[in-house]
Amino acid sequence: MNNTFQFYNTLTRTVETVIPHEEGKIAMYTCGPTVYHFAHIGNLRSYIMEDVLEKSLRYVGYDVKRVMNITDVGHLSSDADTGEDKMLKGAKREHKSVMEIAKFYTDAFFADCAKLNIKTPDVVEPATNCIAEFIHMIEVLLEKGCAYLAGGNVYFDTSKLKDYYVFSSQSEKELLVGVRDDVEEDANKKNKNDFVLWFTRSKFEDQALKWDSPWGVGYPGWHIECSCIGIKHLGEYMDIHCGGVDNIFPHHTNEIAQSESYLGHPWCGYWFHVNHLNDKSGKMSKSSGDFLTVSLLEEKGYDPLVYRMFCLQSHYRKPLEFSYEVMDNMSAAYGKLIKKIADLREEGEVDLAFFDHYRQKFVDALSGDLNTSMAITIVYNLLKEDVNDATKLALVKDFDQVLSLGLQAAKDKIKADQSDVDAELESYILAKIEERKAAKKAKDFARADAIRDELLEKGVALKDTREGVVWSLVN
């Protein structure tokens, strides 16, 4: 492979070239959603950027295997193992069973992903599928002396590690930046950062899903699922692990602790974290219940791909502030871009030298710490170039394998938008005809005539026939 690919590795705190464990192949893992509610557009920012990372790696020639878990058990309302299970909270809110909630919101998550052109990972595994694997890993950790039993629960013993704060040589306070909600102290823990591997006892006795285990009937802690599911599908060495920045601590820190203690060697070399989407009042979070979804954006008339473009226009490492004003500008820019591409004609021969030269520019932008806004600028620059349309079209289609902005289907998109407008116009005309009928019935002939004139001004003529009113477009 000629291309090197670089991004910011949270583990080493530098922009680094990815050197996979097995040449030409990338084992990639993504922390999936906790399916107790709809994904908000903040969550989806992370998934969009991870999708671009995966597609960029494929674009430069890597054979990528990507795995994602679905958190359907064990994620408590505080990331620090206290509070109620989030899934149970969702089930209570909607008077449904936990598994019904999990199914509904898992489907809703993938429907949102499809609208945003986010590819489904090669493997998707719900946590509740893997209870036997979790129990096995916990048994090994106990055997190795890295875990202990206390108050009915199994805890990971962080004092057995050389370096718990692997992600930062700086203060613990800095790592706590992403931790959500209140943190209560658990008197069973030997060390402050120890975390639960298996619960048999919690303050919340009504945990719905429980399984038999050597330590009693109970349920797994949150972090164990990503270690187990990662190792199950990708083997002992993972190349890239992704998530939002709030996952750095404690979730990813704890994943490393338990995976490396279990395996007895380093586990994952590169950690890719996406910064948060905020709104004016701060970070968007599911637990607050007040958040924006893809459906809400659609209801307000935005194409979900406009939101994808909004995310790609900003660097994944920077916080991003959402506003409708910016979305409106993005919508206009997206419409213009699609129109320009739709106007290109499939004529002439592709200029291969030009194609390769531009493709390399695109690769350089992506492999230079995933510079997606530069990648979009390259598309704009291309459209201004003095080269035939066939070459431009071929490049746009090629780039869209990574950008996934619907650029490949620009012509179809314009047609679909036009038929939307037609449908809108038709329903407007029919409403006006009904209004005129009502005015006539009420003997308000002045109003009826005004409606007829109003429509005529818009290029629509009405004709009263025995069969009823018929309309036609006039020039």
Shortest Cβ 359–ligand AMP spacing (Å): 30
* 104 touches 66 (CB < 8 A): no
Encoded amino acid at 61, one letter: G
Stated as kind and residue range, the H or E segment containing 309 is: helix 304-312
Question: Closest distance between ligand AMP and the C-beta of residue 246, in Å?
Answer: 5
Q: Smaller CB distance to ligand AMP: residue 270 or 358? A: 270
Neighbours of 222 (CB within 10 A): 23
Q: Minimum distance between the CB of residue 190 and ligand AMP, rounded to whole angstroms?
A: 27
Q: Which is nearer to ligand AMP, 38 or 354 (CB)?
A: 38
Query: Site size for Zn ion, by CB under 5 A?
Result: 2
Q: Which CB sits closer to ligand AMP, 18 or 31?
A: 31
Max Cα–Cα distance, the chain, nearest Å: 91
CA distance 268 to 277: 26
CA distances from 341 to 305, 345, 387, 410 (A): 16, 9, 14, 6
**In the complex with ligand AMP, which residue's Cβ is closer, 215 or 271?**
271
d(CA 88, CA 99): 10
Distance CA 374, CA 357 (A): 16
In whole angstroms, how close is the CB of 72 to ligand AMP at the nearest point? 11
C-alpha 448/C-alpha 104 separation (Å) is 49
Q: Residues in the site for ligand AMP, rule: CB under 6 A? A: 31, 33-34, 42-43, 45-46, 71, 243-244, 246-247, 274, 276-277, 283-286
Stretch in the footprint of Zn ion (CB under 5 A) among 26-34, 102-110, 278-286, 339-347: 26-34
365 binds Zn ion (CB under 5 A): no
Q: How far is the CB of 31 from Zn ion (least distance, A)?
A: 3
Nearest Cα to Cα of residue 137 among 263, 249, 31, 253? 263
Of 46 and 314, the one with the shorter C-beta distance to ligand AMP is 46
- Distance in Å, CB of 43 to ligand AMP, minimum: 4
Token pair belonging to 179: 């931790």
Q: Does 226 bind Zn ion (CB under 5 A)?
A: yes
- Using CA atoms, how far apart are residues 394 and 86, in angstroms rounded to an integer? 47
Residue whose token pair is 């818009």: 458
Q: Which of 346, 396, 370 is nearest to 46 (CA)?
A: 370
Residue 226 interacting partner from Zn ion, ligand AMP, none (CB closer than 5 to 8 Å by kind): Zn ion
238 binds Zn ion (CB under 5 A): no
Give residue number: closest CB to ligand AMP.
244
Phi, psi for residue 120 in degrees, rounded to 5? -75, 130
Phi and psi torsions of 126, nearest 5°? -70, 145
What's the DSSP call for residue 198? E
Instruction: In angstroms, give the least distance from the CB of 473 to Zn ion.
Output: 56
**Residue 86 binds: one of ligand AMP, Zn ion, none (C-beta under 5 to 8 A by kind):** none
* Residue 120 CB, nearest approach to ligand AMP (Å): 15
> Could you give the 3-state DSSP secondary structure of residue 42?
helix
31 vs 338, beta carbon nearer Zn ion: 31
58-117 residues in contact with Zn ion (CB under 5 A) are none
- Residue span binding Zn ion (CB under 5 A) among the ranges 24-32, 42-50, 157-165, 400-408: 24-32
Which residues contribute to the site for Zn ion (CB under 5 A)? 31, 226
